[in-house]
Structure 1
Amino acid sequence: MSTAGSAERVDIGRFSAGALAAWQEKSFKGKTDYRLTGTGNHRALEARCDGTASAIARLLPVDLNATPVLHWQWRVENVHEGLDEHGKAGDDFAARVYVIHDAGLLKWRSRAINYVWAGSAERGSHWPNPFTHQAMMVAVESGATADPHAWVSESRDVRADFKRFYDLDLDSVDAVAIMTDCDNAGGTAGAAYRDLYFAPK
């Protein structure tokens, strides 16, 4: 299997360049509204849900030995507050970025890590997804922000996280997805995402 990788950087989402054609949408309940906004280097992907849940995914194998660290920026306008995010009824997040290891024909061996902007769960906490044991939730951020226009920068060592949460020594991952969802508890939420890319440590 060939993988995308270099000594510098592997771009997953070039939203600043207006690149969205390579992303595929998957609906779980209705459609979250995803659209590119802004101009030039200020362009970003905005997402809004209203009782809906759909994700967009970029299928691109990435060499984790060369570029294990995922970087991105995001912001939220509002979060789902007061939900039990560990249960099915509260599995809604204003913003998610998740990485998928697809085991091909052995689907029972596929695994995913959801990096979420939680509404209630403590920042830094993690728990199994209530719908499937094949996904782990990680609260990278939590709660509302004082300034909804302020961007927050993130970086995660994806290879180390798969080892930590699944005891898997992965050489590659196969896809990255983004989701803003409101389907389980209802209501609305909004978020925005800037360029996502993998880089060396």
Structure 2
Amino acid sequence: MMKKWARILLIMVVFSWGPLSIIHADSLVVGHFSDLVPGKEFPENWKPMTFSGIDRHTRYTLIRDEGRTVIQADSRNAASGLIRFLRVDPADYPVIQWQWKIDHVLEKGDASTRQGDDYAARIYVAFAFDPDQASWWERARHKSAAMLSNKEVPGSALNYIWANKAPKDSILTNPYLSESMMVAVQSGDTLAGRWIVEKRNIVADYRQAFGRPPPEIIGIGIMTDTDDTGEETIGYYGDVRIFVLNENPW
């Protein structure tokens, strides 16, 4: 059976496009969780992401932490995520910024193996299928998957992960799917329990991972999963934004 993140590239739920919230001309809000009320429901533009064959789901709740509202993801031998469907040209908004925190990494987590393909926290960026960069077989397979599901199917993905032992800033191919690349933004427990603000250049990371410029972004999600390792952990997610390059969020 295909791993959950491999399956998401083949059987993504129906995309519901909606306008992004504008902070100012040079940045867009993907998830403004700090404006939400703890204990309430998530905004309609954030959809649950579950997977066939996986009955135990990560529990996502809005909580108050250090004076602001954030998402708490409690995962106990479970897997599911939350995703925001959108359409953004990464050439226009190449920089993604988010905030995250974890209780601890997964002891058996290993980004290079199927048995260890779990993460205390991850930010997922899905990209449109680019037929010009695909082989005949890949085009045929993608067309069949889209026809069977009657949905738009992503062609590639970047996973920004808080890894267990992968070297920081390393990029690894997902053990289940070559078009899903794992970028180890953090690794290990050294910074566990602290809020970290991350900033990444999506275009630069995609070029390094795939050797070509990225197609259109069609979804950004969060996920804490522990079903492969069978362990438990809690991840936390703050606001997610994307920026034009000259905004210089660094």
Determine which structure has the larger helix proportion and give its number: 2
The answer to whether 1:51 aligns with 2:77 is yes
**How far has the Cα of 1:120 moved from its partner?**
1.5
Contact 1:7 1:66 (8 Å CA) reproduced: no
Contact 1:82 1:120 (8 Å CA) reproduced: no
**Using the alignment, how far apart are the partners of 1:86 and 1:13 within structure 2?**
29
What is the match of residue 105 of structure 2? Answer: 79
Q: Find 2:179's aligned residue among 134, 153, 166.
A: 134
What is the match of residue 165 of structure 2? Answer: 120
What is the match of residue 111 of structure 1? Answer: 156
- List alignment gaps of at least 5 residues for structure 2: 1-16, 37-41, 132-138, 144-153, 246-250
Identical counterparts, % of pairs: 31
Q: Find 1:34's aligned residue among 48, 51, 60.
A: 60
**How far has the Cα of 1:167 moved from its partner?**
2.4
1:44-82 Cα shifts (integer Å, max 9, x gaps):
011010000001110011122221100001000011024
What is the match of residue 96 of structure 2? Answer: 70
What is the match of residue 14 of structure 1? Answer: 32
**Using the alignment, how far apart are the partners of 1:127 and 1:153 within structure 2?**
22
In structure 2, the CA distance between the partners of 1:34 and 1:68, relative to structure 1 (3 Å rule), is same
Determine which structure has the larger strand proportion and give its number: 1
Aligned residues: 200
Which of the pair has more CA radius of gyration? Answer: 2
In structure 2, the CA distance between the partners of 1:83 and 1:64, relative to structure 1 (3 Å rule), is closer
Contact 2:111 2:172 (8 Å CA) reproduced: no
- The code of the aligned residue for 2:184 comes to A
Contact 1:102 1:173 (8 Å CA) reproduced: yes
What is the match of residue 198 of structure 1? Answer: 242
**How far has the Cα of 1:2 moved from its partner?**
10
- TM-score, normalised to structure 2, is 0.73
SS at match of 1:53: coil
- List alignment gaps of at least 5 residues for structure 1: none
1:87-117 Cα shifts (integer Å, max 9, x gaps):
1000010000010002289538700000000
SS at match of 2:209: helix
**Using the alignment, how far apart are the partners of 1:199 and 1:116 within structure 2?**
20
SS at match of 1:67: coil
The answer to whether 1:99 aligns with 2:130 is no
- TM-score, normalised to structure 1, is 0.89
Contact 2:74 2:234 (8 Å CA) reproduced: yes
Which stretch shifts more, 162-171 or 117-126? 162-171
Report runs of 4+ in structure 1 exceeding 4 Å deviation. 1-6
1:142-188 Cα shifts (integer Å, max 9, x gaps):
1113561x210101111121122112323531110110000001010
What is the match of residue 204 of structure 2? Answer: 160
Contact 2:18 2:86 (8 Å CA) reproduced: no
SS at match of 1:38: strand
In structure 2, the CA distance between the partners of 1:94 and 1:147, relative to structure 1 (3 Å rule), is closer
